[in-house]
A and B are shown apart, each in its own frame.
Chain A
Amino acid sequence: DQQVKQNSPSLSVQEGRISILNCDYTNSMFDYFLWYKKYPAEGPTFLISISSIKDKNEDGRFTVFLNKSAKHLSLHIVPSQPGDSAVYFCAASVGNRDDKIIFGKGTRLHILP
């Protein structure tokens, strides 16, 4: 039973344009949502997170939006750069009690020149 779903396995975006990665979740107990980025042969790296009490969090070119009623979140990257080409994992956790994080399957983002 997938609690965190990323329905787009891949996405191609022109350099300089906006990249929008989407994620849905099913568990209402999740109260922290995260995005991780992974390059080949490297471990995932933390990108940005958002608490369930917020609907938007911004960090430079990266913005995460949370729609709790729809159980949906999205990551916006503006403007997209070649170095953004990677696999992006949406993830969620319950509270701050432990490091158990539930990951989606990932979306591979290709930034086209």
Chain B
Amino acid sequence: DAGVTQSPTHLIKTRGQQVTLRCSPISGHKSVSWYQQVLGQGPQFIFQYYEKEERGRGNFPDRFSARQFPNYSSELNVNALLLGDSALYLCASSRLTGGYTGELFFGEGSRLTVL
């Protein structure tokens, strides 16, 4: 079975531009969450979507938005890019049903560089 897939893997943008990152969860997983990992830090929670509805939002400005589609894939959008948005953006999926273990399945990430 395919794991979580993300695209693009790498991209370079300039300040003020907008970016869209995409994620396909593992088949059967209905929950998708997004994390930002800045160099030297652990992943930081941005959003979670479950059954196409926002279930949680981290401490990020309104420039960050996301959505989930009927096939459970998801997009993360970031507007008006700042230099500080340069990071690895990780997508994770889970079933969010059954016994809770805290296990998220992460993709390899999209590395965004803002110049």
Q: Which residues of B contact A (CB under 8 A)?
A: 4, 31, 33, 35, 40-45, 48, 50, 55-56, 58, 90, 92, 94, 96, 100-109
Contacts and interface: CB of A to CB of B under 8 A. Distances in A.
B45 A46 contact: no
B33 A100 contact: yes
Contacts of B100: 32, 95-96
Nearest to A32: B102
Interface of A: 4, 32-34, 41-46, 49, 89, 91, 93, 95-96, 98-106
21 contacts: A32-B102, A33-B102, A43-B90, A43-B108, A43-B109, A44-B106, A46-B101, A89-B43, A91-B42, A95-B100, A98-B55, A98-B56, A99-B33, A99-B55, A99-B96, A100-B56, A100-B58, A101-B43, A102-B45, A104-B42, A105-B41
B33 to A, nearest CB: 4
A110 to B, nearest CB: 17
Given A91-B42, A101-B102, A43 B48 contact: no
B103 to A, nearest CB: 4
